[in-house]
Amino acid sequence: MAAALCAASASPALAQLPGAATALPPEVDAALARARLPRESLSVLVTEAQGNVRTQPRLAHRAQVPVNPASVMKLVTTYAALEQLGPAYVWNTPVYVQGTVQDGSLRGNVYIQGLGDPKLVMERLWLLMRRLQGQGIQVIVGDIVLDRTAFDVPDHDPARFDGEPLRPYNAAPDALLFNYKSSVMTFVPDAAAGLARIQYDPPLAGVQRQATVALAAPGAECGDWRAALRAELADPAKVSFQGVYPAACGERVWPVAAPDPRGFAARAVEGMWRELGGKLTGSVREGKVPPGLKPAFTAVSPPLAEVVRDVNKYSNNVMAQQVFLTLAMQKNGVASFDGAREALRQWWTVRVGDAEPPQADNGAGLSRDARVTAHALARMLQVAWASPVMPELVASLPITGVDGTLRRSNSRAGTAHLKTGSLRDVMAVAGYVHAASGRRYVLVAIVNHANAGAARPVLDALIDWTAREH
pLDDT of residue 213: 98
Q: In the prediction, which pLDDT does 7 show?
A: 38
Do 91-301 and 2-88+304-467 fall under one CATH topology? Answer: no
CA nearest 44: which of 369, 419, 447, 441? Answer: 447
Residue range 84-141, pLDDT digits in tens: 999 999 999 999 999 999 999 999 999 999 999 999 999 999 999 999 999 999 999 9
- Of residues 427, 425, 451, the one with CA closest to residue 368: 425
CATH fold label, 91-301:
D-tyrosyl-trna(Tyr) Deacylase; Chain: A; (3.50.80)
Residue range 2-88+304-467, CATH number:
3.40.710.10
pLDDT at site 412 = 87
How far apart are the C-alpha atoms of 58 and 439, rounded to whole Å? 12
Residue 1 has a pLDDT of 42
The residue extents of the domains of the chain are 2-88+304-467, 91-301
At residue 15, the pLDDT reads 42
pTM metric for this prediction: 0.93
**C-alpha 251, offset from chain centre:** 25
The pLDDT tens digits of the residues spanning 41-79 come to 999 999 999 988 788 999 999 999 999 999 999 999 999
Regions in the chain scoring below 70 on pLDDT: 1-22, 470
